[in-house]
A and B are shown apart, each in its own frame.
Chain A
Amino acid sequence: AQKITQTQPGMFVQEKEAVTLDCTYDTSDPSYGLFWYKQPSSGEMIFLIYQGSYDQQNATEGRYSLNFQKARKSANLVISASQLGDSAMYFCAMRDGNQFYFGTGTSLTVIP
């Protein structure tokens, strides 16, 4: 079974608008961490934001925020005020015990 599911292979957003990238996860471990990474065409994976399973509040990092709904097992990334430089692949990931699982990614294109 998939541990991390990203159902949006590709997304488009107008510059300066907000966009939500979906991520659902599957684990029976009460202690886990959720991560979002950005991968531009150059290939490097850039860490964006982290949410712990015990965190009471949604994580925020600048223009990035994480809409964490624990009961639904979802951890959607919200990018506010999109910029052209936000065009990239975005991966949701989960650390569960010793394992680190990645989703299949969402390709985001920001339109001028």
Chain B
Amino acid sequence: DAMVIQNPRYQVTQFGKPVTLSCSQTLNHNVMYWYQQKSSQAPKLLFHYYDKDFNNEADTPDNFQSRRPNTSFCFLDIRSPGLGDAAMYLCATSTRTGPRDEQYFGPGTRLTVT
């Protein structure tokens, strides 16, 4: 089945220790998104790629970076995690960015910072 895969599902890292979350898709979608979702809150868009074009949200901290080496994979790098970065990180894909283009979400990675 075509899908969006996130690894790992649970990640524990230490304060200040770099961490990378990964997302892969078998849908061959052009667009990949990274969201941060804290407890009982709506997902917050961090950035997205339209093919190789990177689009950063204005309020995304510099601590967060992303890489998309090919269509299938996208990575979220947190350079120096703080306690406030503990959250669920959701990856999503869509074919384009038109009104009809729904986002397909992965299962998420729950990040704990100790």
Interface of A toward B, CB cutoff 8 Å: 31-33, 35, 37, 42-47, 50, 52-53, 91, 95-100, 102-105
Contacts and interface: CB of A to CB of B under 8 A. Distances in A.
Main secondary structure of the interface of A (DSSP, over half): strand
Interface residues of B, number: 23
B100 A105 contact: no
Interface of B: 33, 40-43, 45, 55, 88, 90, 92, 97-108, 110
A58 to B, nearest CB: 16
B4 to A, nearest CB: 9
A110 B101 CA distance: 30
Contacts of B33: 100
A42 B110 CA distance: 10
Contacts of A45: 43, 90, 92, 103, 105, 108
Given A103-B42, A105-B42, A44 B101 contact: no
B100 A44 contact: no
Contact of A43 (B41, B92, B102, B108): B108
Contacts of A32: 99
A52 B105 contact: no
Contacts of A97: 97
A33 B97 contact: no
A98 B97 contact: yes
A33 B101 CA distance: 8
Given A43-B88, A43-B110, A50 B100 contact: yes
Nearest to B107: A44
Contact of A102 (B43, B104, B106): B43
Contact of B42 (A43, A46, A52, A102): A102
Contacts of A105: 40-42
Nearest to B41: A104
